[in-house]
Amino acid sequence: MENNTSANYLFNKGMMAFANTDYEKSIEILSEAADVDEGFKLTFVGRGSAYLKLDRLDEARADFNHAIDLDPGYARAFHLRGLVEEKRGNSEQALLDFTRAIELDPEYGAAYHSRVTLLTQMGREEDTADDMAMIQHLTSKNMAEYANENNIWQSHHLGVEDAMETELNR
């Protein structure tokens, strides 16, 4: 438990550096987390993402491969590895990775977007129609879910205000 807590702490710290666009610091901290717990897949995806931001593509691919080895059903790792392959000019491998990410998580919008972009760059616009429709569907669905969550929060908030007003008027 100690290692997992420490790795999680380091992961969060490393991702804060990533969020602050300090990718070198992120890599340094996430490498410490990887030393603490080699089985913590998020560490490798986070560090791989920092490597990707710095165009250190071999290291990024190695980290995404490790995450996939740890969890062969992890769609995000396939998607990110596809981005590496796309940057390397390996369009067919990138396409396979984006497709695998979508197979693993049919509602993973970023993978659809990446696949549409790649297919368009490959001159295969005719193959993008279904993905474009799915992006539209997922966007509408996400907006509806957000609106519903906001309405629930608003209703709850108004209920609390009404209760407070009732209490104050006693």
Rounded to two decimals, what is the model's pTM?
Answer: 0.79
Number of domains in the chain: 1
Return the C-alpha torsion angle 138, 141, 146, 147, nearest 10.
Answer: 140
Residues 6+ apart with CB under 8 A from 15: 26, 30, 46
CB–CB of 78/105 below 8 Å?
A: no
CATH of the domain at 46: 1.25.40.10
One digit per residue, the tens of pLDDT, for the chain of length 170 reads 455 579 899 999 999 999 999 999 999 999 999 999 999 999 999 999 999 999 999 999 999 999 999 999 999 999 999 999 999 999 999 999 999 999 999 999 899 999 999 999 999 999 888 888 888 877 876 676 666 565 555 555 555 555 545 545 54
The domain of 87 spans 2-128
Whether residue 136 is contained in a domain is answered as: no
Whether residue 157 is contained in a domain is answered as: no
Whether residue 33 is contained in a domain is answered as: yes
Whether residue 109 is contained in a domain is answered as: yes
Whether residue 31 is contained in a domain is answered as: yes
Whether residue 143 is contained in a domain is answered as: no
